[in-house]
Amino acid sequence: MNDADPLKIGIAGLGTVGASTLRYLVDENARIAARSGRGLMVTAIVARDRAKDRGVDTSGMRWFDDPVAMAKDDGIDIYIELIGGADGVAKASVEAALSAGKPVITANKALLAHHGAALAKLAEDTPGASLHFEAAVAGGIPAVKALREGLAGNGVTRVSGILNGTCNYILTEMEETGAAFGDVLLDAQKLGYAETDPTADVGGFDAAHKLAIMAAIAFGRQIDFAGVEIEGIEAVSAEDIVAAADMGYRIRLIGMAERTTKGVSQRMRPCLTPTDSPLGAIEGVTNAVMLEGDAIGATVLTGPGAGGGPTASAVLADIVDVARGNTPPTFGIACADLSPAGDGVDTGDEGAFYLRVTLDDRPGTLAEIAAALGEEGVSIHRMRQHDHVGNAAPVTIVTHACELTAITKAKERIAALPASVAPPVSMRIVES
């Protein structure tokens, strides 16, 4: 390939992101090419429906029915995978393109979370190949570049963030309307913010994929998705939202990966965080990434975490990097220097917790709760009993700092009490 020749691009998948990427590459070609220092030309595409109007003329492009065939084709220089899915044709086509010595650009967080280490090794071992994935983490927010390049001189201590717009929209709407989780989820589905099967979003799995990718870069480790402790927002109630607000907190699904004296921990779960904190202030479908390093301290990046335009922006940034020859190691350092997945994992967690219990309203029940907590070494910082719902008395408790294991055992004790009429709910309190 002559550096004076235009780079020939093949795009697999013309959904929301793929169609937006194609339109920018056609409509804004001169501007993007000028910034790239190379001509850019989309020469090949793969999509299920050839007849669909995508707002751009595709008549001069070669259509493929098989992404793997396009990935191998000598008529493209860069393969862009926007199909999605951890396995199947997405994985096969990326492997084919890397094996053929082509740069690959993908927005596929599930693929990377499950197969990132092997794909990075394939890219590293194959001349001409490289793997780029800015669009796989936080949509239009340049989180990958910030971690891998902008903070390359830092010893990163913690990566945290709000990484799923669907969950943040639901929690924000619950705050503003007082509606229950299920009702807001239905509205989110009608508006297109949530999928028909919302499990990946509300269960925390989508955001956990992104956290695992960022943790790999931050701490020089192979991706360890299996090591992420995941809890979704399904159990968050309107009562929790109100109780948190009364204490000056908001509930957010927060991913946090940090290096401790015991190793590296990775957690994705709903937390209470101060309303005026960088993450507590994030509303609606907006995402936020907080990066903390020994030299910079803390820096926060916010912006749209999904959507055609924002995610296409990240894809285009990777195209420009490839054109400029900016192809750093996939996860910041050579694969041989990455710590193995599962090595040095910290499964502990110490801090203050919010606890909601629902009790049968009878004498002595609060004493039973206090005793159950005390038997596991959990100290109560403050306690509040709320208005009765029939004969049930909701009680919210904020603990002093304790281990997650102690809270978990205390919840088991409380759930077994005759006075407990609903499973206890707990959430970590994150102050920053």
Q: Catalogue the active-site residues.
A: 210
CA 177, CA 104: separation in Å to the nearest integer? 44
Q: Which DSSP string corresponds to 7-68?
A: EEEEEE--SHHHHHHHHHHHHTHHHHHHHHTS-EEEEEEE-S-TTS--SS--TTSEEES-HH
The answer to whether 83 touches 47, Cβ cutoff 8 Å, is no
Report CA 427 to chain centroid distance, whole Å: 19
The answer to whether 82 touches 59, Cβ cutoff 8 Å, is no
State whether residue 122 is helix, strand or coil: helix
State whether residue 110 is helix, strand or coil: helix
For the chain, the 3-state helix, strand and coil shares in percent, each to the nearest 5, are 40, 25, 35
The answer to whether 162 touches 168, Cβ cutoff 8 Å, is yes
CA 323, CA 405: separation in Å to the nearest integer? 50
Instruction: Enumerate the H helices of 149-229 as residue ranges.
Output: 165-177, 181-191, 199-202, 205-219
